[in-house]
C-alpha cells in the first residue's frame, strides 16, 4: 500500500536526518516522531533507500594510463653492471701475471679546491691536476700530483696512500672527464719535457670532439690498467638529468676507491 | 607531480573516475574514453597539480568532459518531464535487487542531480567539494541532492514493496 504524501517540509526533515545535518537533539526528536507515525516511517525508509553504495566496478586498463619511468634505467644499469663485472673478472684472470706498473715518482699534496692550477704550473712545472668527486660534493678537493724523478715515494699530506693508478692511467687518459671541473693534463713521467710543452690548458672542445668510440676505449683502457695494477675499479652509473622522461641520460664513471674519477662518459 | 605520483593517482582514482563516468554515461566505452581524457589532462597539467589535489582535479575534469559529451548528445529528460508510463513499475522492479532498481531509477533523473548524488554517495564528498567540481554553490548542491533523492524515491515506488 502506497503511503500518503507528506509535506515538503517533512521531506526536508527526513533528508536532513539521513544526511546527518541535524543536531543530536533534533535527530532524536525526529526519530521519535518517525517511530510514532507509520506513514512518515514509510517515507523515511523509502528515502533511505535512495542512498547508493559504491559498486564493485574497477577500471581494468590502468596500465595503459600509466607512464613509464626509469625502467630502462634499471635495465641499463643491470646490463652495464653485468658487462663491467664480466669484463673486470676476465681481465683480472687474464692479466694476473702482469706486474703492476711502478708508480711514477709522486708527491701528492691536498689543496683547497679554489687553488688555481696555474699556480701549480708556475711552481711545479710538471703538475698533474686530478679532480676528486667525493660522495658529498661539498667536500670535493683537488689533488695535485707532482712528479719528481728523484723521489720514488708516494705520500699524501693527510696520510692517505696515493693510488698508483692515478699515474699509471694518466698518460692514456686523453679525454676530459665529464665531471671534471679541472681539465686533465696528459703528462708522462718519462717525458716531463714534452709534458711541459703540452701543459697548456686544452679547450673543452677537445673532449667534445672525441667520438663515443674513443671515450669507450678510454674507459676500457682505464679499467684494464686498474686490473693490471691489482685494483678493483668502481663502475658508477648515474643519471645526469632530472627530467622525468622515461629515458634519462646516463653517465658512466670509473672510479678508484678514493672516488677519483678516472673516466666518465655518457654512453647515450 | 612526478611520474610516480601520477601513476599512483592512476592506481588510486582511475576506478572511481571510471565508475563515476559509467554511472553517468551508462556506456563502458564512453566511460573509458572519459577516463583516458581525464588522465591525459592530468598528465599535461602535472606540473601544476599536486597529488593531494589530484582527486578533486580528476573528478572536475571528468565532470566537465562529460558535460561536453552531453552537449553533443541528445538532451536528457528531466525527471519532472517523464511520464508515469516511463517509470518502471513496482512489479517490474520486484524482480531486481534494490541496488539494480536504484541504478535504473538513477538513469531517469537529471544529469546534475545524478552527478551530485554520485559524488556524494560514492566518493563521500561534502557539499562544498561537490560545488567545486560542478561549479554550483553549496545550497544548490544540497537542493539538487534533495530533489534527486525525492525523484528516486518517487521512481522506486511504494517503499513498502521494497522492504
Cell numbers for B42, please give them. Answer: 592530468
A9 touches chain B (CB under 8 A): no
A74 touches chain B (CB under 8 A): no
CA angle B75/B79/B83 to nearest 5° reads 100
> What is the overall mean pLDDT for chain A?
61
Residue range B118-139: average pLDDT?
Answer: 89
B84 touches chain A (CB under 8 A): no
Distance, in Å, from the CA atom of B80 to the CA atom of B73, rounded to the nearest integer, reads: 20
Chain A residue with CA closest to B13: the answer is A59
Contacts of A53 in chain B (CB under 8 A): 99, 121
Q: pTM, whole model, 2 decimals? A: 0.47
**DSSP assignments along A182-227, one per residue:** S------GGGHHHHHHT-SPPPTHHHHHS-HHHHHHHHHHHHHHHH
ipTM: 0.71
Contacts of B3 in chain A (CB under 8 A): 67-70, 244, 246
Q: Tens digit of pLDDT for each residue in A157-209?
A: 444 444 555 555 555 544 444 444 443 444 444 544 444 444 444 444 444 45
**Cβ separation of A57 and B145 shorter than 8 Å?**
no
> What is the overall mean pLDDT for chain B?
78
Contacts of B156 in chain A (CB under 8 A): 46, 49-50
Chain A residue with CA closest to B7: the answer is A66
What is the predicted pLDDT for the residue at B80? 39
Please provide residue A94's backbone torsions phi and psi, each rounded to the nearest 5 degrees: -75, -30
Please provide residue A129's backbone torsions phi and psi, each rounded to the nearest 5 degrees: -120, 120
Contacts of A47 in chain B (CB under 8 A): 149, 153
A12 touches chain B (CB under 8 A): yes
A71 touches chain B (CB under 8 A): no
Residue range A210-234: average pLDDT?
Answer: 73
Amino acid at each position: 500500500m502506497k503511503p500518503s504524501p507528506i509535506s515538503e517540509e517533512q521531506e526536508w526533515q527526513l533528508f536532513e536526518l539521513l544526511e546527518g545535518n541535524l543536531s543530536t537533539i533534533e535527530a532524536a526528536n525526529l526519530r521519535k516522531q518517525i517511530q510514532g507515525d507509520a506513514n512518515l516511517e514509510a517515507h523515511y525508509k523509502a528515502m533511505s533507500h535512495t542512498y547508493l553504495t559504491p559498486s564493485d566496478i574497477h577500471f581494468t586498463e590502468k596500465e595503459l594510463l600509466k607512464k613509464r619511468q626509469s625502467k630502462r634505467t634499471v635495465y641499463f644499469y643491470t646490463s652495464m653492471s653485468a658487462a663491467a663485472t664480466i669484463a673486470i673478472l676476465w681481465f683480472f684472470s687474464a692479466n694476473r701475471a702482469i706486474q703492476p706498473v711502478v708508480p711514477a715518482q709522486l708527491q701528492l699534496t691536498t689543496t683547497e679546491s679554489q687553488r688555481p692550477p696555474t699556480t701549480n704550473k708556475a711552481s711545479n712545472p710538471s703538475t698533474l691536476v686530478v679532480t676528486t668527486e667525493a660522495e658529498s660534493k661539498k667536500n670535493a678537493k683537488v689533488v695535485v700530483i707532482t712528479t719528481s724523478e728523484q723521489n720514488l715515494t708516494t705520500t699524501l699530506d693527510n696520510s692517505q696512500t696515493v693510488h698508483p693508478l692515478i699515474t699509471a692511467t694518466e698518460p692514456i687518459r686523453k679525454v676530459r672527464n665529464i665531471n671534471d671541473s679541472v681539465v686533465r693534463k696528459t703528462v708522462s713521467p718519462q717525458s716531463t719535457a714534452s709534458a711541459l710543452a703540452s701543459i697548456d690548458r686544452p679547450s673543452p672542445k677537445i673532449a667534445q670532439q672525441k667520438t663515443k668510440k674513443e671515450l669507450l676505449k678510454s674507459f676500457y683502457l682505464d679499467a684494464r690498467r686498474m686490473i693490471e695494477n691489482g685494483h678493483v675499479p668502481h663502475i658508477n652509473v648515474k643519471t645526469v638529468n632530472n627530467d622525468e622522461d622515461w629515458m634519462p641520460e646516463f653517465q658512466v664513471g670509473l672510479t678508484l676507491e678514493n672516488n677519483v674519477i678516472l673516466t666518465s662518459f655518457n654512453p647515450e | 607531480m612526478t611520474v610516480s605520483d601520477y601513476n599512483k593517482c592512476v592506481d588510486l582514482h582511475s576506478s572511481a573516475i571510471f565508475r563515476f563516468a559509467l554511472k553517468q554515461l551508462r556506456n563502458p566505452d564512453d566511460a573509458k574514453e572519459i577516463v583516458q581524457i581525464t588522465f591525459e589532462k592530468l598528465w599535461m597539467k602535472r606540473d601544476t597539480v599536486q597529488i593531494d589535489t589530484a582527486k578533486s582535479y580528476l573528478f572536475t575534469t571528468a565532470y566537465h568532459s562529460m558535460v561536453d559529451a552531453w552537449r553533443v548528445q541528445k538532451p536528457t529528460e528531466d525527471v519532472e518531464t517523464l511520464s508515469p508510463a516511463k517509470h518502471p513499475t513496482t512489479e517490474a522492479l520486484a524482480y531486481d535487487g534494490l541496488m539494480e532498481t536504484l541504478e535504473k531509477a538513477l538513469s531517469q533523473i537529471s544529469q546534475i542531480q545524478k552527478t551530485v548524488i554520485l559524488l556524494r554517495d560514492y566518493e563521500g564528498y561534502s557539499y562544498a567539494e561537490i560545488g567545486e567540481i560542478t561549479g554550483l554553490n553549496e545550497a544548490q548542491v544540497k537542493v539538487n541532492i534533495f530533489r534527486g533523492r525525492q525523484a528516486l524515491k518517487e521512481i522506486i515506488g511504494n517503499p513498502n514493496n521494497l522492504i
